[in-house]
Structure formats: structure tokens, C-alpha cells
Amino acid sequence: MPEYCFYKKRNQIAALQKSDNVRATLLTRQGFEKQFEEVSAADEKAALSRFDDIRKEKRIDQHNFRAGAITMPFIGVLTAITSLFFRKK
């Protein structure tokens, strides 16, 4: 299976084979930016589908991290307050 890389400009995403230097140069001149992700796929459509899956997973991971970053300090504060009420004198 060929390796595909991705170029993005605003909402447009183009997938092209990693070895296609001519199209890569044209896209770069048109203002597209090369993305970090590279995948192996049967064709461009499958590569774009996998790229979309990777981006969705990344957004979910970021959301879960933020949720944990907010929740964990809140749990710590609640634990500290609760321990003050149940402390033996």
C-alpha cells in the first residue's frame, strides 16, 4: 500500500502519495500546509477517511484531558474540605 501525506488549507484537505513531489510543490505554492500525519492506504479516499479518524481521536483525547484537568483539582479540594469535617479532635 502506498504512503499518503496530507495538505490542509482552511477547510480543504488534500491527500497525495508521499512520493508525489510535483503535486506537493504545487499545493505548497497554493498556500496548503503539510500536516504531520502520514498513513498507508489503498487509495486517496481511504487515506482521507483514516486522516479524519485520526483527527477525531485527537479531539476526543484533548477533550478527555481537559475534563480530567478540571475534575482532578476539584476532587482534591473536596477531599481536603471533607477531611476537615471528619478530623478527630
- Provide CB contacts within 8 A for 59, sequence distance 6+: none
Q: Would you give the DSSP letter of residue 12?
A: E
Whole-number Å distance between alpha carbons of 52 and 37: 11
> What's the number of domains the chain is made of?
1
Give pLDDT tens digits along the chain (89 positions).
Answer: 899 999 999 999 999 999 999 999 999 999 999 999 999 999 999 999 999 999 999 999 888 888 877 788 888 888 888 888 887 66
Model pTM score: 0.71
Burial class (CB in 10 A: 0-12, 13-18, 19+), 70: exposed
Domain that holds residue 59: 3-85
| pLDDT given at position 25 | 95
The count of other CB atoms within 10 Å of the CB of residue 14 is 19
